[in-house]
Chain A
Amino acid sequence: NAGVIQTPRHKVTGKGQEATLWCEPISGHSAVFWYRQTIVQGLEFLTYFRNQAPIDDSGMPKERFSAQMPNQSHSTLKIQSTQPQDSAVYLCASSEWGFGNTLYFGEGSRLIVV
């Protein structure tokens, strides 16, 4: 069984450009999560979907960040007008039904905004 797949693994983008990150969850998992990881803040929750429906986006910066899950096999995180402070590793995870059981993380997408 393949794990959570994230693409791209690395992305360098210029300030003000748009960045889109993709996540393919483990087949059969109904919940998908996005986290952002930096040295200073650690792992920060961004948003989560269950059965493709957005459940909690309380960690998403209200401007410039958006996430979608158009079908059960992939989710995207889009950052518009990227800023240097958006530089981080963005981690996607999936689980069978939500928090309270194991989260399986992908290897992450490292975003660098120059």
Chain B
Amino acid sequence: SQLAEENPWALSVHEGESVTVNCSYKTSITALQWYRQKSGEGPAQLILIRSNEREKRNGRLRATLDTSSQSSSLSITATRCEDTAVYFCATDSAGNKLTFGIGTRVLVRP
């Protein structure tokens, strides 16, 4: 079973709208990372949020972390067509292997 899981499996928004992807995880963590993978490319990190942080921003991206409920969210505001991708959360626990969920497919339509 997956140690990290994103939901929903897929969603679609119009350009300019906001979108939120959620992540739940099953182990204690030292950090949680969000990655984005565009078609034909490898995943690229968007945000790394450590277990003692509750929120992190990077431009139009905002990640939250709630260690009590073992959940995180990634929000993208003012979406663009180029935000179309698969979004993954990934967790690591004290230097152990980084475990990815199966991802949320986000489609941004013109």
Contacts and interface: CB of A to CB of B under 8 A. Distances in A.
B88 A43 contact: yes
A42 B100 contact: yes
Size bin of chain A's contact surface: 20 to 34
A56 B41 CA distance: 25
A102 B97 contact: no
Interface in B44-101: 44-45, 48, 88, 92, 95-101
Contacts of B19: none
Contacts, number: 53
A45 B98 contact: yes
A103 interface: yes
Interface residues of B, number: 22
Q: What's the dominant secondary structure at chain A's contact region?
A: loop
B31 to A, nearest CB: 6
A26 interface: no
Interface in A38-71: 41-43, 45, 48, 56, 58-59
Given A45-B98, A58-B97, 10 more contacts: A42-B2, A42-B88, A42-B101, A43-B88, A43-B100, A43-B102, A56-B96, A91-B42, A100-B92, A105-B42
